[in-house]
Protein backbone atom coordinates (compact mmCIF):
# COMPACT_ATOMS: atom_id res chain seq x y z
CA UNK A 1 0.00 0.00 0.00
CA UNK A 2 2.84 2.37 0.88
CA UNK A 3 4.52 1.81 -2.50
CA UNK A 4 1.26 2.61 -4.32
CA UNK A 5 0.86 5.84 -2.34
CA UNK A 6 4.48 6.73 -3.08
CA UNK A 7 3.95 6.29 -6.83
CA UNK A 8 0.79 8.42 -6.74
CA UNK A 9 2.64 11.12 -4.81
CA UNK A 10 5.47 11.18 -7.38
CA UNK A 11 2.96 11.48 -10.21
CA UNK A 12 1.42 14.54 -8.57
CA UNK A 13 4.77 16.16 -7.75
CA UNK A 14 6.22 15.68 -11.23
CA UNK A 15 2.99 15.70 -13.25
CA UNK A 16 0.75 18.43 -14.71
CA UNK A 17 -1.21 18.74 -11.44
CA UNK A 18 1.87 19.86 -9.51
CA UNK A 19 1.24 23.66 -9.77
CA UNK A 20 -2.36 23.27 -8.62
CA UNK A 21 -1.37 20.96 -5.77
CA UNK A 22 1.35 23.39 -4.69
CA UNK A 23 -1.09 26.30 -4.65
CA UNK A 24 -3.63 24.29 -2.67
CA UNK A 25 -1.00 23.26 -0.15
CA UNK A 26 0.12 26.86 0.38
CA UNK A 27 -3.45 28.07 0.91
CA UNK A 28 -4.16 25.40 3.51
CA UNK A 29 -0.83 26.03 5.26
CA UNK A 30 -1.48 29.77 5.41
CA UNK A 31 -4.91 29.14 6.92
CA UNK A 32 -3.48 26.77 9.53
CA UNK A 33 -0.74 29.21 10.53
CA UNK A 34 -3.20 32.05 11.03
CA UNK A 35 -5.72 29.79 12.75
CA UNK A 36 -3.32 28.46 15.39
CA UNK A 37 -1.58 31.78 15.98
CA UNK A 38 -4.94 33.49 16.49
CA UNK A 39 -6.10 30.67 18.76
CA UNK A 40 -3.00 31.01 20.94
CA UNK A 41 -3.34 34.80 21.07
CA UNK A 42 -6.86 34.35 22.43
CA UNK A 43 -5.40 32.03 25.07
CA UNK A 44 -3.09 34.82 26.20
CA UNK A 45 0.08 34.24 24.21
CA UNK A 46 1.62 37.47 22.92
CA UNK A 47 4.37 38.72 20.66
CA UNK A 48 7.56 39.70 22.55
CA UNK A 49 7.66 43.00 24.39
CA UNK A 50 10.45 45.52 23.91
CA UNK A 51 12.63 44.21 26.74
CA UNK A 52 12.71 40.74 25.17
CA UNK A 53 13.28 42.20 21.71
CA UNK A 54 16.31 44.13 22.97
CA UNK A 55 17.65 41.05 24.80
CA UNK A 56 17.31 38.80 21.75
CA UNK A 57 18.77 41.36 19.35
CA UNK A 58 21.85 41.73 21.55
CA UNK A 59 22.44 38.01 21.95
CA UNK A 60 21.08 36.08 18.96
CA UNK A 61 21.76 35.80 15.23
CA UNK A 62 19.40 33.76 13.07
CA UNK A 63 20.92 31.73 10.25
CA UNK A 64 19.15 29.80 7.54
CA UNK A 65 19.79 28.33 4.14
CA UNK A 66 17.86 29.35 1.03
CA UNK A 67 17.69 27.42 -2.24
CA UNK A 68 15.27 28.04 -5.12
CA UNK A 69 12.53 29.25 -2.74
CA UNK A 70 12.78 33.04 -2.74
CA UNK A 71 9.23 33.57 -1.53
CA UNK A 72 9.84 31.37 1.49
CA UNK A 73 13.15 33.03 2.32
CA UNK A 74 11.53 36.46 2.14
CA UNK A 75 8.50 35.36 4.15
CA UNK A 76 10.68 34.04 6.96
CA UNK A 77 12.77 37.22 7.10
CA UNK A 78 9.63 39.35 7.21
CA UNK A 79 8.27 37.09 9.95
CA UNK A 80 11.48 37.36 12.01
CA UNK A 81 11.57 41.16 12.00
CA UNK A 82 7.86 41.33 12.80
CA UNK A 83 8.65 39.57 16.09
CA UNK A 84 12.13 40.97 16.69
CA UNK A 85 12.68 44.21 14.74
CA UNK A 86 16.40 44.67 14.19
CA UNK A 87 17.39 41.04 14.81
CA UNK A 88 20.53 39.93 12.99
CA UNK A 89 19.83 37.48 10.17
CA UNK A 90 22.31 35.70 7.90
CA UNK A 91 20.97 33.84 4.87
CA UNK A 92 23.19 31.47 2.90
CA UNK A 93 21.71 31.32 -0.59
CA UNK A 94 22.86 29.03 -3.39
CA UNK A 95 19.94 29.50 -5.77
CA UNK A 96 20.32 29.88 -9.53
CA UNK A 97 19.26 33.53 -9.23
CA UNK A 98 20.55 35.77 -6.39
CA UNK A 99 18.14 36.25 -3.51
CA UNK A 100 16.49 39.66 -3.98
CA UNK A 101 16.08 40.81 -0.39
CA UNK A 102 17.33 43.74 1.68
CA UNK A 103 17.25 44.65 5.35
CA UNK A 104 19.18 46.77 7.85
CA UNK A 105 20.18 43.78 9.96
CA UNK A 106 20.38 41.29 7.11
CA UNK A 107 23.43 39.69 5.50
CA UNK A 108 23.05 37.47 2.43
CA UNK A 109 25.87 35.13 1.46
CA UNK A 110 25.54 34.35 -2.24
CA UNK A 111 27.12 30.94 -2.78
CA UNK A 112 27.81 28.79 -5.85
CA UNK A 113 24.70 27.11 -7.23
CA UNK A 114 23.54 24.03 -5.30
CA UNK A 115 26.46 24.16 -2.87
CA UNK A 116 24.43 22.23 -0.35
CA UNK A 117 22.92 22.71 3.07
CA UNK A 118 26.00 21.84 5.14
CA UNK A 119 28.30 24.12 3.16
CA UNK A 120 25.85 27.02 3.41
CA UNK A 121 25.26 26.65 7.15
CA UNK A 122 29.00 26.58 7.83
CA UNK A 123 29.53 29.76 5.82
CA UNK A 124 26.68 31.47 7.70
CA UNK A 125 27.96 30.29 11.08
CA UNK A 126 31.39 31.78 10.31
CA UNK A 127 29.75 35.22 10.16
CA UNK A 128 27.94 35.01 13.51
CA UNK A 129 29.26 37.43 16.15
CA UNK A 130 26.63 36.97 18.87
CA UNK A 131 26.96 34.45 21.75
CA UNK A 132 23.89 32.55 20.54
CA UNK A 133 22.78 31.38 17.11
CA UNK A 134 19.33 30.24 16.02
CA UNK A 135 19.30 27.69 13.21
CA UNK A 136 16.18 27.63 11.06
CA UNK A 137 15.01 26.50 7.61
CA UNK A 138 13.42 28.86 5.11
CA UNK A 139 10.07 27.04 5.30
CA UNK A 140 9.46 27.92 8.95
CA UNK A 141 7.81 30.82 10.79
CA UNK A 142 7.89 32.08 14.36
CA UNK A 143 4.62 32.00 16.30
CA UNK A 144 3.46 33.67 19.52
CA UNK A 145 4.50 30.43 21.25
CA UNK A 146 8.11 30.40 20.05
CA UNK A 147 9.43 32.26 23.12
CA UNK A 148 12.95 32.69 21.79
CA UNK A 149 14.01 35.07 24.55
CA UNK A 150 12.88 32.65 27.25
CA UNK A 151 14.96 29.84 25.74
CA UNK A 152 18.08 32.01 25.68
CA UNK A 153 17.43 32.87 29.33
CA UNK A 154 17.17 29.14 30.02
CA UNK A 155 20.61 28.59 28.48
CA UNK A 156 22.02 31.44 30.57
CA UNK A 157 20.59 29.85 33.71
CA UNK A 158 21.72 26.29 32.83
CA UNK A 159 25.36 26.28 31.75
CA UNK A 160 25.27 22.47 31.62
CA UNK A 161 23.09 22.74 28.50
CA UNK A 162 24.14 24.09 25.10
CA UNK A 163 21.21 23.87 22.71
CA UNK A 164 17.43 24.30 23.02
CA UNK A 165 15.18 22.95 20.28
CA UNK A 166 11.66 24.16 19.58
CA UNK A 167 8.56 22.05 19.03
CA UNK A 168 7.16 22.17 15.49
CA UNK A 169 3.65 22.78 14.22
CA UNK A 170 3.81 21.02 10.86
CA UNK A 171 1.39 21.73 8.00
CA UNK A 172 -0.88 20.35 6.83
CA UNK A 173 -3.28 18.77 9.32
CA UNK A 174 -1.19 20.14 12.18
CA UNK A 175 -0.78 18.05 15.31
CA UNK A 176 -0.13 19.28 18.86
CA UNK A 177 3.51 20.54 18.84
CA UNK A 178 4.21 18.86 22.20
CA UNK A 179 3.04 15.50 20.83
CA UNK A 180 5.33 15.88 17.83
CA UNK A 181 8.22 15.59 20.29
CA UNK A 182 7.48 11.87 20.64
CA UNK A 183 9.26 11.34 17.30
CA UNK A 184 12.55 12.14 19.03
CA UNK A 185 12.25 10.16 22.25
CA UNK A 186 13.94 7.10 20.70
CA UNK A 187 17.13 8.92 19.69
CA UNK A 188 19.37 8.02 22.62
CA UNK A 189 22.48 8.13 20.38
CA UNK A 190 23.54 4.65 21.47
CA UNK A 191 26.60 3.72 19.43
CA UNK A 192 27.66 7.31 18.76
CA UNK A 193 31.42 8.06 18.91
CA UNK A 194 30.89 9.66 22.34
CA UNK A 195 28.30 9.07 25.05
CA UNK A 196 25.84 11.82 25.92
CA UNK A 197 27.14 14.06 28.72
CA UNK A 198 23.68 14.03 30.33
CA UNK A 199 21.56 10.90 29.82
CA UNK A 200 18.82 10.88 27.19
CA UNK A 201 15.38 11.99 28.50
CA UNK A 202 16.81 13.62 31.65
CA UNK A 203 14.38 16.29 32.86
CA UNK A 204 16.16 19.61 33.47
CA UNK A 205 13.06 21.46 34.63
CA UNK A 206 9.33 21.24 34.01
CA UNK A 207 9.65 22.04 30.30
CA UNK A 208 13.10 20.97 29.15
CA UNK A 209 14.21 17.39 28.48
CA UNK A 210 17.59 16.17 27.25
CA UNK A 211 17.42 14.33 23.94
CA UNK A 212 20.19 12.90 21.80
CA UNK A 213 18.62 14.27 18.66
CA UNK A 214 16.13 17.14 18.47
CA UNK A 215 14.32 19.01 15.66
CA UNK A 216 16.56 20.89 13.23
CA UNK A 217 15.25 24.12 14.70
CA UNK A 218 17.06 25.45 17.73
CA UNK A 219 18.95 28.20 19.53
CA UNK A 220 22.39 27.30 20.83
CA UNK A 221 25.69 28.60 22.09
CA UNK A 222 27.53 29.76 18.99
CA UNK A 223 30.92 28.40 19.99
CA UNK A 224 29.51 24.99 20.87
CA UNK A 225 27.86 24.69 17.45
CA UNK A 226 31.16 25.72 15.85
CA UNK A 227 32.87 22.85 17.66
CA UNK A 228 30.56 20.43 15.83
CA UNK A 229 29.77 22.21 12.55
CA UNK A 230 28.32 20.49 9.49
CA UNK A 231 30.12 17.91 7.38
CA UNK A 232 30.41 19.51 3.95
CA UNK A 233 30.65 16.12 2.28
CA UNK A 234 26.95 15.83 3.12
CA UNK A 235 24.88 18.02 0.82
CA UNK A 236 21.39 17.61 2.28
CA UNK A 237 21.09 14.90 4.95
CA UNK A 238 22.74 16.84 7.76
CA UNK A 239 20.29 16.25 10.61
CA UNK A 240 21.21 12.84 12.01
CA UNK A 241 24.93 13.32 11.30
CA UNK A 242 25.11 16.63 13.18
CA UNK A 243 23.64 15.23 16.39
CA UNK A 244 25.56 11.96 16.03
CA UNK A 245 28.80 13.93 16.11
CA UNK A 246 27.44 16.35 18.72
CA UNK A 247 26.89 13.53 21.22
CA UNK A 248 29.30 14.02 24.09
CA UNK A 249 30.24 17.49 22.82
CA UNK A 250 27.09 19.48 23.47
CA UNK A 251 23.92 18.88 25.48
CA UNK A 252 20.66 19.28 23.57
CA UNK A 253 17.25 19.77 25.17
CA UNK A 254 13.80 20.29 23.74
CA UNK A 255 11.46 22.93 25.15
CA UNK A 256 7.89 21.75 25.59
CA UNK A 257 5.22 24.41 25.17
CA UNK A 258 7.04 26.16 22.32
CA UNK A 259 5.91 26.17 18.69
CA UNK A 260 7.45 27.12 15.35
CA UNK A 261 5.36 26.64 12.22
CA UNK A 262 6.80 24.36 9.50
CA UNK A 263 5.16 24.35 6.09
CA UNK A 264 7.49 22.48 3.74
CA UNK A 265 5.65 22.23 0.41
CA UNK A 266 6.25 18.78 -1.16
CA UNK A 267 4.79 19.88 -4.51
CA UNK A 268 7.53 22.39 -5.43
CA UNK A 269 8.84 20.40 -8.36
CA UNK A 270 12.08 22.25 -9.10
CA UNK A 271 13.13 22.33 -5.44
CA UNK A 272 12.24 18.67 -4.89
CA UNK A 273 14.40 17.63 -7.85
CA UNK A 274 17.47 18.73 -5.92
CA UNK A 275 16.15 18.00 -2.43
CA UNK A 276 15.59 14.33 -3.23
CA UNK A 277 19.01 13.88 -4.82
CA UNK A 278 20.56 12.28 -1.73
CA UNK A 279 22.03 8.97 -2.87
CA UNK A 280 25.62 10.18 -2.49
CA UNK A 281 24.78 11.48 0.99
CA UNK A 282 23.41 8.07 1.99
CA UNK A 283 26.47 6.23 0.72
CA UNK A 284 28.89 8.64 2.41
CA UNK A 285 27.03 8.49 5.75
CA UNK A 286 26.99 4.70 5.60
CA UNK A 287 30.76 4.68 5.10
CA UNK A 288 31.18 6.98 8.11
CA UNK A 289 29.10 4.67 10.30
CA UNK A 290 31.16 1.66 9.24
CA UNK A 291 34.30 3.54 10.28
CA UNK A 292 32.68 4.60 13.55
CA UNK A 293 32.93 8.35 12.89
What confidence score (pLDDT) does residue 57 get?
98
Q: Return the percentage of the chain with pLDDT > 70, whole number.
A: 95
Domain assignment present for residue 33? The answer is yes
Q: Give the mean model confidence (pLDDT) for residues 166-177.
A: 91
Domain count, the chain: 1
Q: What is the pLDDT of residues 277-290, one digit of tens each?
A: 889 999 999 998 88
Quote the domain boundaries for residue 56.
28-270
User: What is the average pLDDT value for the chain, to the nearest integer?
Assistant: 92
- Examine the pLDDT at 15 and tell me if it is beyond 70: no
Half-sphere exposure of 20 (CA within 13 A, CB side): 4
- Please spell the DSSP secondary structure of 34-50, one letter per residue: HHHHHHHHHTT--PPPH
Domain assignment present for residue 22? The answer is no
Instruction: Please name the residues in contact with 291: beta carbons below 8 A apart, sequence gap of 6 or more.
Output: none
Domain assignment present for residue 285? The answer is no
What confidence score (pLDDT) does residue 114 get?
93
For the entire predicted model, the pTM comes to: 0.93
Spatial separation of the C-alpha atoms in residues 240 and 209, rounded to whole Å: 18
Q: Give the mean model confidence (pLDDT) for residues 120-146.
A: 98
What secondary structure letter does DSSP report for 185?
T
Burial class (CB in 10 A: 0-12, 13-18, 19+), 76: buried
Q: Give the mean model confidence (pLDDT) for residues 171-183.
A: 89
- Sign of the torsion angle spanned by Cα atoms 23, 24, 26, 27: positive
Q: Give the mean model confidence (pLDDT) for residues 192-215.
A: 95
Spatial separation of the C-alpha atoms in residues 13 and 236, rounded to whole Å: 19
| CATH number of the domain within which 45 lies | 3.90.550.10
Q: Give the mean model confidence (pLDDT) for residues 245-253.
A: 96
String of b and e for 52-75 (b: at least 16 CB within 10 Å)? bbebbbebbbbbbbbbbbbebbbb
What confidence score (pLDDT) does residue 35 get?
95
Q: Give the mean model confidence (pLDDT) for residues 108-135.
A: 97
> Higher pLDDT residue, 64 or 7?
64
**Model confidence at 244, in pLDDT bands (50, 70, 90)?**
very high
Residue pair 118/232 in contact (Cβ under 8 Å)? The answer is: yes
Spatial separation of the C-alpha atoms in residues 212 and 257, rounded to whole Å: 19
Paired residues of 208 in beta bridges? 255
Domain assignment present for residue 23? The answer is no
Domain assignment present for residue 202? The answer is yes
What confidence score (pLDDT) does residue 1 get?
44
What confidence score (pLDDT) does residue 6 get?
53
Instruction: Please name the residues in contact with 19: beta carbons below 8 A apart, sequence gap of 6 or more.
Output: none
- Examine the pLDDT at 227 and tell me if it is beyond 90: yes
What confidence score (pLDDT) does residue 268 get?
79
- Examine the pLDDT at 30 and tell me if it is beyond 80: yes
Instruction: Please name the residues in contact with 158: beta carbons below 8 A apart, sequence gap of 6 or more.
Output: 204, 208
Q: What is the pLDDT of residues 53-83, one digit of tens each?
A: 999 999 999 999 999 999 999 999 999 999 9
Residue pair 111/84 in contact (Cβ under 8 Å)? The answer is: no
Amino acid sequence: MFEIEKKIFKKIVYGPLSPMASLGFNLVALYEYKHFNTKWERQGWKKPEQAEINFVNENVTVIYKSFERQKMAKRLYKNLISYYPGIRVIIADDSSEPLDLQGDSLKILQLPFNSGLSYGLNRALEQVETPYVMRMDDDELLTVRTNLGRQVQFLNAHPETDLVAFCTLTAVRCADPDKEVSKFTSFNMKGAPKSLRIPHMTQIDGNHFVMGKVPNLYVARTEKVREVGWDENIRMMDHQDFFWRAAGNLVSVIALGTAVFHYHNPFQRNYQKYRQDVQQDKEYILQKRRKGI
